Amino acid sequence: MTQQGSSLHKPQFDFPPKIKSQIQSCLRRKNSVGIFSVAVPIFFHFSCQYGTRCKFLHTTPQQSQSNRFGFGAQTSSPNPQPNPFGFDTQTSRTPNQQPNPQPNPFGFGVQSSAHSRGGDGFVSKPNQVKVLSVVIQAVDCFVVYGPFDNKWSRFSNVNNSSAPASRPANNQPSAANHTCTTDIESCKRVILEDLENEKPLWKLTCYGHSRNGPCDIVGDISYDELRALAYDDAKHGKDIASIVERERNLLNSKLLEFQNLAQKPYPVSSAPTPSSQNMFGGGSIIAPVANNGFSSQVSSFSQLSGSSNTRSAAAPNFSFGQPNAFQNNTQPSSFQTNNSPFNTSGAFGIQPQHSTTQSFSPFGTSSNNGALSAPQNSFSTPASLPQTGNGPGKQLNFFTNEPITASSAIGLTNTSIQLINNIPTENANVDDGVWTKAQWNVGEIPEEEPPTIYIN
């Protein structure tokens, strides 16, 4: 190979001098075993003696791959993350005549030995490589032998069936886009499997079949709540039998819900679109509700939302400034559940407000309430957000307007919403005429329940 153009460069080994001397002193010793092994990002700056004429790819990590060297055979492979080791593959030292597709901070790895016809820059090359193999050992595996004799390497899958599983069983990325609408069968399978095998001992719980996805069964009761209630009742003189009775009823109703889900596993779909993991085809939330024998109004709700699901691709990022959007049937995003993509916007105060519309009270109400109210939580307009900046006394400024408009747009009658809206009355804001209106504007709906005369 002719050498023209760039002159012969001496490769500069960019080890810090101190460690270099250390390493060399170790190397002189015969017994040196690389207990140095640590992860050290060492970036070597080498200059190839062939310069631009070299047939190998001269790349450094973190640089975009531009093939400047004119050889088509050198495919510029995309450089993955900066490799702290820089060249762990190079230590194999196989003479390698073909172009090295991997990004190679040496510029050419060991091939240089083939070229190094006495180029004094390379004399120490073999040594250097040896140094590298000594110094750079990826120490990322270790084996733990414990009293249970679980023999683990970092990624091994050996475990004792009797011992509790120590291996992390699932490594799904959190951005798993769970498209229940497209692959409803697998979701159903997941649900059935879960309800069959993975039943926790505490039954009064919500359940969601997809990680980071909405709940299929809502209505959580924690141990402490149940216990606190029991203690409270006992204090007020309720006898133990009635307490037990009540708890048993709770348990049975919850078990029934789970059974229903198992028999008709319609999963709550999360994202119909692949792009948005957290936008929700919340319409199908209604589906399990329908399973529970909900009113016909809700069934129509589910059918409507089922169709609207497919159109959700249009609106992954509905903006909050448009309450009109909720009038539109084809906005399935209106049914979103509590997953929120709104990290960036300051309109975050939104959901806090709507927590109160989620009328689920833990004791005795069916999960339907939670299911229906969950989608309702999502709507609000930042403009009407009184929470921010209010003093302490005003926090409880809920607004239930948007959910109602949305649902009316969907065809639910007002009454059905009000049936499930068990918000405790906070403000004495009674104007009964409001309840007779057909449609509300933002901010008009009072917070407390309508008087029963309006509930048909």
Q: List the one residue from 56, 69, 207, 320 that touches other proteins (CB under 8 A).
A: 207
Q: List the one residue from 6, 8, 9, 36 that touches other proteins (CB under 8 A).
A: 36
* Residue 393 is a binding residue for other proteins (CB under 8 A): yes
* Residue 258 is a binding residue for other proteins (CB under 8 A): no
Structure tokens at 301: 């709700």
Q: Please report how close the Cβ of residue 208 comes to other proteins at its closest, in angstroms.
A: 5
The residue among 193, 218, 191 whose CA lies nearest residue 205 is 218
As beta bridge partners, residue 38 has 136
Interface size with other proteins, residues (CB under 8 A):
96
Choices 23-31, 62-70, 323-331, 441-449; region in contact with other proteins by CB under 8 A? 23-31
Residue partners of 131: CB distance under 8 A and separation at least 6: 23, 24, 27
* Residue 139 is a binding residue for other proteins (CB under 8 A): yes
* Residue 119 is a binding residue for other proteins (CB under 8 A): no
369-388 footprint of other proteins as x/- string (CB under 8 A): -x---x--x---------xx
As beta bridge partners, residue 318 has none
* Residue 275 is a binding residue for other proteins (CB under 8 A): no
Residue 375 CB burial class (10 angstroms; 0-12, 13-18, ≥19): buried
Backbone region of residue 229 per phi and psi (left: phi > 0; alpha: psi in -120 to 50; beta: other values): alpha
Q: List the one residue from 167, 238, 248, 437 that touches other proteins (CB under 8 A).
A: 167
* Residue 276 is a binding residue for other proteins (CB under 8 A): no
Which is closer to other proteins, CB of 206 or CB of 313? 206
Task: List C-alpha distances in Å: 276 to 190, 213, 318, 343.
Answer: 21, 12, 12, 13
CA distance 178 to 210: 7
Q: List the one residue from 4, 7, 24, 39 that touches other proteins (CB under 8 A).
A: 39
**Contact positions with other proteins (CB under 8 A) in 43-102:** 84
The residue among 186, 218, 185 whose CA lies nearest residue 292 is 218
Q: List the one residue from 144, 234, 314, 455 that touches other proteins (CB under 8 A).
A: 144
* Residue 454 is a binding residue for other proteins (CB under 8 A): no
Q: List the one residue from 11, 99, 109, 208 that touches other proteins (CB under 8 A).
A: 208
Place of tokens 């084996």: 143
Choices 46-54, 116-124, 144-152, 437-445; region in contact with other proteins by CB under 8 A? 144-152
Q: How many CA atoms lie within 13 A of 397 on its CB side?
A: 17
- Largest alpha-carbon pair distance within the chain? 101
* Residue 18 is a binding residue for other proteins (CB under 8 A): yes
Place of tokens 């091939």: 111
Which is closer to other proteins, CB of 10 or CB of 199? 199
